[in-house]
Each structure stands twice: as C-alpha cells, then as structure tokens.
C-alpha cells in the first residue's frame, strides 16, 4: 500500500514549497516514522535557501537523506524527531531522532534512527544534531581542568558548546556575543557572558562560532601565548581574512578547524557516529538546553517562516516546526 507524506523543498534563491512525498511500505530492516517535530538549523538552512552552498562543497554539505542537488530545488534538513509507527518490534512506538529533512512521515533503515531517552522530551530532542556537533568540537578542543575558555558566537552551535563546557571543573568560561539578549543563554547554563569588547583575555582556548571575520579576529586577540582557536564557523561561499602578522607568530597562536562530518581524531578509534549521537541525546536531559529553542511554527507555515528567518525578521536560534495538532 502506497502512502503519501508531505515534504518541504528549498527552491533557491529565497523560496520553498511543500510537495507530496510518496512512501513505500517499510521493508525488512526499515521503519516508518511519523514526524512530531523538526528543527530549522538557521545558519545552514539560510545558506541553502539563498543558494549559497559553494559548488566545491556540494558533496560535503549533502544531508544524509537529501533529495535533489544543490543549488536546488532540494529537500534538505537534519533535525527530525518522530514516532516509529511500523518496523521492528523493539522500535515500534518509540520516539526517535533521525537526520531527516522536514517531512510529515518517512521510511528509512532502522539503523538510521536513534531512540530518544525517556529523560529527554521530544520537543527538546530536535537539538541532538547540533549538540552532536558541539560534542565533536569539545573532543577536538580537548580542554583541561582549570582552562580559561571563551566561546565566541552564541548561536545554536556556540551555545551548545558552552552548555557542554559549563560542566567542566575549574574552568573560567565565558560566552561572548554582540547581542546582549544572548546573556539569557549564559544565565541558563550558569556561566559568564561578555560582549566582544569586555571579554576576558589570556585564554588557553577559544571556540569560535560567530561565522564573522570580526569574531575570528577577536578570538585570536583573546588567546594567551600558545593558545588555540577551534574554528567551528561555516562561511559557505563567503571569504574571510585573518591577521597572521602582528602577534600571530610571536605568540605562537593556532587556528584549527572542527566539523561534524567525521568523528574527532581524538575519539575516532573508540567512538562511532552512533555513539556520538547517543551521547548528545543523553546530554539533552539537561533542561537548560531549552533556551536554544526560540520559536515554533506549524509545518504548513514553513514556506513563509523560513524566508522570514533567513531575513532576520524572526529572531531565532533553533526554530521548532510542529507537525499535527
């Protein structure tokens, strides 16, 4: 029996639409999932919406269950929480997270879904993909007890990194952002907040996630000698410059990239992608992460909501999309 779901497609530049999505019956080793919530990863999905994915990054940026090709039209997204309606007995009725686009229901291999712990409400579980990125960044950064750390950029990823680092013993941790309203995030996690101008320097480690040239420059300025910036920003097709003169060499500073596409080398031999995602879901048992979800809209409004998010008309970190009543 053929079922038909509904899926959101990006139609760059700046538009999208909901299309029918025919579904086959799940076969052996597959599950049929009914979506409860998806999350809009504003930075990445804005880039896709405006057609700004660089051609040489088409393969890297491809989502696991993407349909269509960049620059578009393309079905894109990776923050999906739903309920298994058909499939193996141990999964039926379970709430699961999947790296699936915005779609009302879908069929995927059973090993593509991760069971959401009972300690994590489905409404919060949409953050799992972002917190997974933050977990990988912390593995890359390898902070030590007592480190002086700044996270520059209090968007979804930067705030998630700060939320994880808030549990490290003995660290001096500050969340740095130009928007004073982001102090609410720092307060939720019980850490200090500062504007870029007021941020404390002499940092052993700075995690940069503002996706701005000014933010990267300030991150380098905040380092102590031989300190390191972990660069988490995704600039897409934008070029940025960085001052490698001045104090860069004399203070032996370093800039190192981090991204979620591969498990950090620090854990690659001992952790799988599944292990990393399961850890991210476990961390989301902390209610403080709710501060990252800043709005909600029904699925039918997504073609109007996403362009407004991209234009900044709706201030948002993670905007939650609700399916059903």
Query: Which of 67, 69, 75 is closest to 16 using CA atoms?
Result: 75
pLDDT-derived band at 141, boundaries 50, 70, 90: very high
What is the 8-class DSSP label of residue 25? P
In this model, does residue 289 exceed pLDDT 80?
A: yes
77 φ/ψ sector (left φ>0, alpha ψ -120 to 50, else beta): left
Dmax (CA) of the chain: 68
pLDDT in tens, 199-219: 999 999 999 999 999 999 999
pLDDT-derived band at 128, boundaries 50, 70, 90: very high
CA 233 to CA 320: how far, in whole Å? 22
In this model, does residue 237 exceed pLDDT 80?
A: no
Asked whether the beta carbons of 284 and 5 are under 8 A apart, the reply is no
- Lowest-confidence segment of 147-156, 157-166, 305-314 by average pLDDT: 305-314
- For the entire predicted model, the pTM comes to 0.92
Ranges of each domain in the chain: 3-127+284-322, 130-257
Which phi and psi (to 5°) does residue 209 adopt? -140, 25
3-127+284-322 and 130-257 in the same fold: no
Residues 6+ apart with CB under 8 A from 197: none
- Lowest-confidence segment of 43-47, 103-107, 185-189 by average pLDDT: 43-47
Q: How many CA atoms lie within 13 A of 270 on its CB side?
A: 3
Which residues on neighbouring strands pair with residue 74, listed in sequence order?
10, 68
Q: What CATH class has 130-257?
A: alpha beta
Question: Which of the following CATH numbers is that of domain 3-127+284-322: 3.90.1150.10, 2.40.180.10, 2.60.260.20, 3.90.180.10?
Answer: 3.90.180.10
Segment 85-98 shows an average pLDDT of: 97
Segment 121-131 shows an average pLDDT of: 97
pLDDT-derived band at 243, boundaries 50, 70, 90: confident
């Amino acid at each position: 029996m053929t079922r038909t779901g509904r899926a959101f497609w990006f139609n760059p530049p700046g538009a999208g639409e909901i299309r029918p999505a025919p579904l086959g019956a799940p076969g052996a080793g597959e599950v049929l999932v009914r979506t409860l919530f998806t999350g809009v990863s504003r930075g990445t999905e804005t880039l896709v919406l405006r057609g700004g994915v660089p051609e040489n990054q088409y393969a890297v940026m491809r989502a696991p269950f993407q349909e269509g090709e960049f620059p578009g039209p393309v079905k894109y997204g990776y923050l999906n929480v739903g309920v298994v309606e058909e499939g193996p007995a141990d999964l039926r009725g379970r709430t699961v997270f999947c790296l699936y686009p915005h779609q009302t229901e879908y069929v995927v291999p059973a090993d593509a879904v991760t069971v959401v712990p009972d300690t994590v409400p489905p409404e919060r579980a949409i953050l799992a993909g972002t917190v997974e990125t933050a977990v990988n960044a912390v593995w890359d950064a390898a902070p030590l007890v007592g480190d002086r750390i700044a996270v520059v950029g209090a968007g979804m990823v930067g705030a998630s990194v700060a939320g994880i680092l808030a549990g490290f013993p003995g660290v001096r941790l500050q969340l740095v952002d130009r928007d004073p309203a982001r102090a609410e995030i720092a307060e939720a996690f019980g850490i200090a907040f500062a504007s870029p101008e007021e941020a404390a320097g002499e940092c052993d480690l700075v995690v940069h996630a503002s996706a701005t040239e000014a933010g990267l420059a300030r991150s380098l300025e905040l380092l102590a000698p031989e300190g390191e910036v972990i660069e988490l920003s995704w600039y897409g097709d934008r070029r940025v410059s960085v001052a490698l003169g001045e104090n860069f060499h004399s203070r032996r500073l370093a800039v190192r990239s981090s991204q979620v596409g591969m498990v950090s080398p620090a854990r690659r031999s001992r952790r799988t992608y599944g292990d990393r995602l399961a850890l991210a879901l476990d961390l989301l048992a902390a209610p403080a992460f709710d501060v990252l979800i800043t709005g909600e809209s029904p699925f039918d409004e997504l073609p109007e909501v996403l362009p407004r998010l991209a234009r900044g008309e709706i201030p948002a970190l993670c905007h939650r999309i609700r399916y059903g009543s």
